[in-house]
Amino acid sequence: MKKAFILSLAFALSFSLMQSKTIQADEFSGKEDEYISLCSSATLTKSKEKVCKRFNKYLKDKTSNLKSSINNSKADIDKTSNNIEETNKKVEELTDRITELLKQIEYYKVTIQNYQNEIDTKVKQIGSRMYSMQSTYNTNAFISYLLESKSISDLYSRLASLGQLTSYEKQLAEEIEQKKKEKQEQVKAMTEAQIKLAEEKKKQKELANHYIELKAQQQKQLAEQQQLKSKYNSAQSKVDAALEAMYERDRASRVTYSGTVGKGSATGRAIASAALTQLGHRYYWGATGPTYYDCSGLVYWAYNKAGIGIGRLTAAGYAASGKSVSRASLSPGDVITFSYGSGVAHIGIYIGNDHFVHASGRGSSTHGQDPNQCVKVATLSGRWTSFVHNYRRLY
């Protein structure tokens, strides 16, 4: 039962996330220019913060998808270019084979003509003999008999029957005729092969042209994708800047401290004053300013801003640095470290009058997304006092 409940809960959560992405896409799809104008406005108001943050997320997702699409398009173009190269190579190979075949065909045609010339010569010689016989015997019977021949072989057979062709002449004539036929068959076969090669060459040329057109389309698509990605990147920067400007205006009006820095050394007061100039700046795990801070990052920035060059340490690192001071001896610029039971986890800067300034956040899970997790002033009393680990002077 419990397993079925967990599975149904997981499915519901997955479905909810899918719906959220779909809704976000539907909300802004086709309206990008409208929201770019709205969310990059220099007068962006708090009332538009949520929709503009969603739109900024939408732009980042679109940019990420475009980056993937651009990589795919480049891969497609490379593949098509290879196809064009391979197809053109095949066309060249086919052209060479066709050229070679045509040369062979021409050569065999010349050979066939030579054989035919030999046959014609033989026929003329035989014709001369026949005319001699016709004159001798005063009859056309010989000529008529020979004219009825159905082929050159038949002609030679009839001549042989008349005793006018030696066996050698007959054999030679038949060999010539056979060679002629063989060459004619070869020419026929090569001509058919040449036609097939020409058809294949035509197909390959058409395929090459197809690939060339496809490449042009792919290059056009790539250019559009790159242009759109550039547009969205630019829009993201503008929306980020507009949101940041709005946060800064909101920070200046929302996070304030009406008190003053307490009495102390000029150095300590300079450190405390520097930290107070950053009121409202958001907490971001690992940040050291000047836009975002974590707790130890604020200490590092304020000290260095006041001219005290200290290294970048964690709260625990600063808790073991400098010299120890008592609660009664606290002076502006001193640091207060806190432990929640498992080691030093937080640090602030004392500003006098039982107050301290600190970058308040939820640790590694906070990355500037919460305007309430920011640099602020707190009173050193109540729960804060119960969590104090030690007090240190780092200058």
Answer whether 194's CB lies under 8 Å from 101's CB: yes
**Residue 279 confidence (pLDDT) above 70:** yes
List where CATH 1.10.287 sits in the chain: 31-254
Answer whether 41's CB lies under 8 Å from 55's CB: no
pTM of the predicted protein model? 0.51
Answer whether 321's CB lies under 8 Å from 394's CB: yes
Nearby residues of 162 by Cβ (< 8 Å), 6 or more positions away: 142, 145
Closest-CA residue to 23 (of 51, 44, 48): 51
What local confidence, expressed as pLDDT, does residue 273 receive?
Answer: 97
C-alpha 337/C-alpha 315 separation (Å) is 7
**346 included as an active-site residue:** yes
Q: Which one from 295, 355, 374, 389 is the annotated catalytic residue?
A: 295
Please give the single-letter amino acid code of residue 233: N
What local confidence, expressed as pLDDT, does residue 22 receive?
Answer: 47
Handedness of CA 8, 12, 13, 15 (dihedral sign): positive
Q: Sorting pLDDT into bands at 50, 70 and 90, what band is 105? A: confident
**Residue 111 confidence (pLDDT) above 70:** yes
- Over residues 83-104, the pLDDT tens digits come to 999 999 998 998 898 888 888 8
The full DSSP string for 320-333 is TSSEE--STT--TT
- Over residues 149-168, the pLDDT tens digits come to 666 566 666 655 555 555 66
- Over residues 43-70, the pLDDT tens digits come to 888 889 899 999 999 999 999 999 999 9
Q: Which one from 39, 52, 281, 346 is the annotated catalytic residue?
A: 346
Mean pLDDT of the chain: 84
Q: Give yes or no for a cis peptide into 290 (omega within 30° of 0).
A: yes
List where CATH 3.90.1720.10 sits in the chain: 259-393
**295 included as an active-site residue:** yes
**Residue 186 confidence (pLDDT) above 70:** yes
Question: Would strands 355-359 and 323-324 be described as parallel, antiparallel, or unpaired?
Answer: unpaired
Query: Which SS3 state, helix, strand or coil, does residue 13 take?
Result: helix
User: Which ranges of the chain would DSSP assign to H, the alpha helix?
Assistant: 2-28, 32-39, 49-137, 141-147, 152-161, 167-254, 266-276, 295-305, 315-319, 383-387
Closest-CA residue to 350 (of 391, 292, 303): 391
Say which range, 52-61, 248-257, 262-271, 276-285, has the weakest mean pLDDT: 248-257
Q: Which one from 52, 281, 355, 358 is the annotated catalytic residue?
A: 358
What local confidence, expressed as pLDDT, does residue 294 receive?
Answer: 96
**39 included as an active-site residue:** no
Q: Sorting pLDDT into bands at 50, 70 and 90, what band is 19? A: very low
Sequence-separated contacts (24+) of 300-308 with Cβ below 8 Å: 301/274, 302/271, 302/272, 302/274, 302/275, 302/278, 302/349, 303/271, 303/394, 303/395, 305/271, 305/274, 306/267, 306/270, 306/271, 306/273, 306/274, 306/333, 307/267, 307/270, 308/267, 308/271, 308/394, 308/395
Q: How many angstroms from the chain centroid is the CA of residue 216?
A: 17
Residue 3 backbone dihedrals phi, psi, to 5 degrees: -65, -40
C-alpha 65/C-alpha 72 separation (Å) is 11
**Residue 174 confidence (pLDDT) above 50:** yes
- Over residues 188-235, the pLDDT tens digits come to 888 888 888 888 889 999 999 999 999 999 999 999 999 999 999 999
What local confidence, expressed as pLDDT, does residue 23 receive?
Answer: 45
**Residue 18 confidence (pLDDT) above 60:** no
- Fold designation for 31-254: Helix Hairpins (1.10.287)
Please give the single-letter amino acid code of residue 190: M
- Fold designation for 259-393: endopeptidase fold (from Nostoc punctiforme) (3.90.1720)
